[in-house]
Amino acid sequence: MQQPDLFFDRSRLFEHLCDVNYLRAGFKTVKKNQGSPGIDGVTIAEFESRLDEELAQLQKELRSWSYQPQPVRRVDIPKPGKKDEFRKLGVPSIRDRTVQATLKILLEPIFEPLFSKNSYGFRPGRNQRQAVEAAQQIVASGKGYCVDIDLSKFFDRVNHDRLISRLTEQIEDKRILRVIGMTLRSGVMKDGFVSATQEGTVQGSPLSPLLSNVVLDELDKELERRGLEFCRFADDANIFVGSRKAAERTMANITRFIEGKLKLVVNREKSKVAPTSKVKFLGMTIVAMTIAISAASINRAMDKVKELTPRGTSHCLEQAIEEINEWYVGWANYHSMTQYPAQLGKIEAHIRRRLRARLVDQQKSKRNLFKKLVKRGVRRGLAAKQVFSNRRRWALSHTKAVEMAYPNQWFADKGLKTMSDKGLAHWFEINRWIKLT
């Protein structure tokens, strides 16, 4: 298969969008990201089974201007730790995702070199860890206060006219702008009803992350013009200054810029000025110039452990451990940037205690529990003293007898994954580096 040439003529972007090779590359990224069908119900596998036919049809429709993006399927996802708040996601059809992914392939090389070095979200070679570490360096330079700006429903409130105007500054081919405009205005379907989209860019569209950076790059440039130090990841922006007075002044000035110039809305309830140790950024907090998992992230993790280890479940222990591992390994890998590995150890200890409580609960009587502990090597006197007491299951799960019968290694042998040792290794490496420098 012929590979698309990324060194293309900017004045002929539309011809490249109609090129089957580019569309095929777009579908390849859609397939890699997976995802569910749009409103037409066509899955990635079904689309791929007739790929040549589908791409030829897309090419024909684009060239003849008969292409019309379908409304996206609206899905409301609860925000972590916020049962009454939802993130509105949109699921475009596979054919529309293919066109949008192709547009991203064409536009990203144009805009990427123009973006700020302080922007880390949805950019090649950049990630959350780099953003948090950059924030740590800024704090270490003496910027002890943070202006934490929360944009209210950012993706839902992007102004289409301003976005197209920003795109026009770099895109010579107006036909591409027309396709993007059609995509932005494609509409949303929920519960069988279609509503028009007069503003916003769909979360779930392959093109939206790039468009969001185009919008917020204007904020980045304004912050740089004012000489402010900041880190931004998507719509999560933290500005660092040296005093509370400077932070309050910055908050007022930047809020006026965002709402007056960018036509976005600052959530005043969630935005705040505070010492950096009181502000979370991408789930982390800078405490005494070191990186720690934020208290909010720890609390959400504790709630997730409780959700994965309910009382009275019919699931066997092995299945529970598999479900815990599926969540915890990803969570801990991300949060392993903490320089306080005991935070990971705290979560792991809570997991084991919840599982020990389940093992205690499975013994239908205290006599059965006593026999089980003795069988597992606990001295009879110790087992009797702690089991035949007024302690209930949760208290018993943290007794010496139960912990001896089911030590940490027992859970490891059952397949329970731990990450705190890796965190400790990371901590020792950091301390070694500090001493060397």
pLDDT digits (tens, 9 = 90+) for 58-74: 999 999 999 999 999 98
**pLDDT mean over 297-323:** 89
**pLDDT at residue 316, as a whole number:** 86
**pLDDT mean over 416-430:** 59
Surface-to-core class of residue 349, CB atoms within 10 Å of its CB (0-12 exposed, 13-18 middle, 19+ buried): middle
User: What pTM does this model have?
Assistant: 0.84
**pLDDT mean over 115-141:** 95
CA distance 421 to 204: 36
- On the question of pLDDT at 364 being above 90, the answer is no
CA distance 68 to 396: 63
Say if CB 193 and CB 39 are below 8 A apart: no
| Dihedral (CA of 422, 428, 432, 433) sign | positive
- Give me the chain's average pLDDT, please: 89
**pLDDT mean over 46-56:** 96
**pLDDT mean over 123-150:** 94
Say if CB 64 and CB 11 are below 8 A apart: no
Opening angle at CA 154, ends 149 and 156, nearest 5: 160
**pLDDT at residue 191, as a whole number:** 79
Say if CB 178 and CB 17 are below 8 A apart: no
Q: Tens digit of pLDDT for each residue in 167-213?
A: 999 998 999 999 999 999 998 888 788 888 888 888 889 999 999 99
Mean pLDDT check: name the lowest of 18-22, 86-90, 130-134, 352-356.
Answer: 86-90
**pLDDT at residue 355, as a whole number:** 95
**pLDDT at residue 86, as a whole number:** 74
**pLDDT at residue 202, as a whole number:** 85
CA distance 93 to 58: 13
User: What is the pLDDT confidence band of residue 421, given thresholds at 50, 70 and 90?
Assistant: low
User: What is the pLDDT confidence band of residue 359, given thresholds at 50, 70 and 90?
Assistant: very high
Tokens describing residue 94? 């596979």
Strands (E), 112-266: 145-150, 188-190, 193-195, 229-233, 236-241
Q: Which residue has the higher pLDDT, 188 or 17?
A: 17
CA distance 423 to 413: 20
Say if CB 77 and CB 86 are below 8 A apart: yes
Q: Which residue has the higher pLDDT, 25 or 362?
A: 25
> Residue 263: phi, psi to the nearest 5?
60, 35
Strands (E), 92-234: 145-150, 188-190, 193-195, 229-233
Say if CB 239 and CB 147 are below 8 A apart: yes
Query: Distance from CA of residue 274 to its chain's centroid?
Result: 24
CA distance 265 to 424: 42
CA distance 80 to 90: 18
**pLDDT mean over 125-152:** 94
Say if CB 355 and CB 310 are below 8 A apart: no
Strands (E), 242-356: 272-275, 284-287, 290-293
| Dihedral (CA of 359, 361, 366, 368) sign | negative
**pLDDT mean over 208-236:** 96
User: What is the pLDDT confidence band of residue 7, given thresholds at 50, 70 and 90?
Assistant: low
Tokens describing residue 284? 């982390």
Cβ within 8 Å of residue 350, ≥6 positions away: 302, 305
Tokens describing residue 419? 């990450």
**pLDDT mean over 412-419:** 91
**pLDDT at residue 432, as a whole number:** 41
- On the question of pLDDT at 276 being above 90, the answer is yes
Other CB atoms within 10 Å distance of the CB of residue 369: 24
User: What is the pLDDT confidence band of residue 84, given thresholds at 50, 70 and 90?
Assistant: low
**pLDDT mean over 33-47:** 93
User: What is the pLDDT confidence band of residue 422, given thresholds at 50, 70 and 90?
Assistant: low
- On the question of pLDDT at 113 being above 70, the answer is yes
**pLDDT at residue 83, as a whole number:** 60
**pLDDT at residue 80, as a whole number:** 66
Mean pLDDT check: name the lowest of 32-41, 76-85, 267-276, 399-408.
Answer: 76-85
Tally of helices (H runs) and strands (E runs) in the chain:
20, 10
